[in-house]
């Protein structure tokens, strides 16, 4: 067997693989959680068909009182210091959305004048349009800039590449909005309702309620091992997202490394130069201890703790009150053909046969 860190979902769900034990059902998760997500259970509860090495176990739960803004400031100082120690520039994958804007605000609040000289904002016209005022007031003419589509050539190079991944897991899940649209704003606060959530998941599966109910049964096993009470529908959606997406959201960017740079992606590189801002135990602990700080009573209030940090920096009421989540990286990565697999030795592969990475005895069979 070849153990993997990540695999391209379209490869896992190829027509020849769908006939193998559990793969067809497992591949339904790609529709439910995104075309770049290979679900990997961080609790060790679910046996997946893909032989994945768990790289990001859940932080061990404990009471945690640090505020979100303090976490962002501490993380920004850490990242800035790391880039400075390495003597490299800090390239920021910036979409203009809430997560990456909160990240960039945190850097700007904590960077010295010298450190700011080494921040390079990777953006696109969409990034500018998504947060025009921030671009005009805090990026253009003040920070170095580059094109977002160059990021595959930066992977493996002697620079720090910083993303805003994992914020969606820390701060909730986009399914909160889907549930509000489907069943009304108050549905997210109602006590866990398996029937309601099965109907929500069925929407991703072409209305197949039987398939959705099967997945609910597996997800409930995750709920049962949660260290915090899962009371509401929103709690449940967050917890499943928090458990199964974390690893994919770290590694999928690497899959688009330029072929000439793939061999440079070593454990040392990943540990020091490939950085996800929100990927810390402290952000995980904040998430587990603050289930009430994701959203208020409207979808526009989603991620309000991050939006408040942005507002205090730039006083943009329009962005604070009306900005909603929008997909950002997918249009960019579409320009770059990805590798198919990253194995546990961080080798980039295209040539594995299904029997090398699929497990016949799994919970989807």
**Per-residue pLDDT tens over the stretch 49-80:** 999 998 999 999 999 999 999 999 999 999 99
Mean pLDDT, the chain, whole residue set: 95
Is residue 39 one of the residues assigned to a domain? no
Average pLDDT over residues 235-242: 98
| Contact of 172 with 303, CB cutoff 8 Å | yes
Q: What DSSP string runs through 212-278?
A: HHHHHHHHHHHHHT-SS---BHHHHHHHHHHHHSHHHHHHTTGGG--GGGGGG--HHHHHHTEEETT
- pLDDT at position 325 is 73
CA–CA separation, 118 and 20 (whole Å): 49
User: Residue 143 pLDDT more than 90?
Assistant: yes
pLDDT at 335 over 90: no
| CATH for 243 | 3.40.50
Model confidence band, residue 35 (pLDDT cutoffs 50, 70, 90): confident
Residue 33 within any structural domain of the chain:
no
Mean pLDDT of 181-208: 97
What pLDDT, on a 0 to 100 scale, did the predictor assign at position 37? 94
- Is 14 contained in some domain? no
Higher pLDDT, 331 or 292: 292
**pLDDT mean over 221-246:** 98
User: Does 139 map to a domain?
Assistant: yes
In a domain, 319, yes or no: yes
- DSSP helix/strand/coil, 90: strand
Q: Answer yes or no: is 27 within a domain.
A: no
**What's the pLDDT at 333?**
57
How many domains does the structure of the chain reveal? 1
Which of 337 and 95 is assigned the larger pLDDT?
95
95/128 Cα distance (integer angstroms): 8
Which residues form the domain of 112?
A: 58-337
- In the structure, what pLDDT confidence band is assigned to residue 338 with cuts at 50, 70 and 90? confident
Cα radius of gyration rounded to whole Å, the chain: 20
Q: Which residue spans within 160-211 are E strands per DSSP?
A: 160-163
Residue 332 reports pLDDT greater than 70: no
In a domain, 48, yes or no: no
331 has a pLDDT exceeding 60: no
pTM of the model as a whole: 0.96
pLDDT of 284 above 90: yes
**Sorting pLDDT into bands at 50, 70 and 90, what band is 1?**
confident
pLDDT band at 324 (very low <50, low <70, confident <90, very high): confident
Residue 15, domain member (yes or no): no
Residue 336's pLDDT is 65
356 falls in which pLDDT band (50, 70, 90)? Answer: very high
* Overall average pLDDT of the 133-147 stretch: 97
pLDDT at 98: 96
Q: What is the mean pLDDT of residues 218-238?
A: 98
């Amino acid at each position: 067997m070849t153990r993997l860190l990540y695999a391209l979902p379209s490869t896992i769900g190829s027509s020849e693989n769908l006939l193998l034990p559990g793969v067809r059902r497992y591949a339904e998760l790609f529709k439910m959680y995104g075309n770049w997500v290979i679900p990997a259970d961080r609790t060790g509860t679910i046996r997946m068909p893909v032989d994945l090495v768990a790289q990001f176990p859940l932080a061990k739960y404990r009471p945690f009182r640090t505020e979100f803004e303090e976490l962002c400031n501490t993380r920004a100082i850490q990242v800035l210091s790391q880039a400075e120690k390495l003597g490299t520039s800090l390239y920021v994958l910036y979409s203009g959305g809430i997560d990456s804007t909160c990240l960039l605000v945190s850097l700007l609040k904590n960077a010295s004048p010298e450190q700011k000289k080494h921040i390079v904002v990777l953006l696109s016209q969409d990034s500018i349009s998504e947060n025009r005022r921030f671009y005009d007031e805090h990026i253009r003419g003040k920070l170095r800039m580059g094109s977002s589509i160059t990021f595959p050539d930066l992977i493996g190079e002697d620079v720090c590449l910083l993303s805003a991944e994992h914020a969606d897991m820390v701060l909730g899940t986009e399914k909160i909005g889907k549930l509000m649209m489907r069943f009304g704003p108050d549905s997210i606060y109602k006590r866990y309702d398996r029937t309601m959530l099965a109907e929500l998941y069925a929407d991703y599966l072409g209305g197949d309620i039987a398939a959705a109910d099967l997945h609910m049964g597996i997800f409930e096993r995750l709920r049962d091992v949660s260290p915090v009470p899962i009371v509401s529908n929103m709690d449940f959606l967050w917890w499943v997202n928090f458990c199964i997406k974390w690893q994919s959201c770290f590694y999928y960017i690497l899959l688009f490394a330029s072929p000439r740079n793939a061999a440079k992606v070593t454990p040392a590189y990943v540990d020091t130069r490939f950085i996800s801002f929100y990927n810390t135990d402290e952000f995980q602990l904040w998430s587990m201890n603050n289930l009430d700080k994701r959203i208020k009573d409207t979808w526009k209030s989603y991620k309000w703790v991050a939006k408040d940090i942005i507002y205090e920096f730039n006083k943009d009421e329009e962005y604070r009150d009306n900005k909603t989540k929008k997909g950002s990286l997918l249009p960019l990565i579409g320009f770059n053909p990805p590798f198919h697999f990253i194995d546990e030795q961080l080798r980039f592969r295209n040539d594995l046969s299904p029997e090398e990475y699929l497990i016949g005895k799994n919970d989807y069979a």
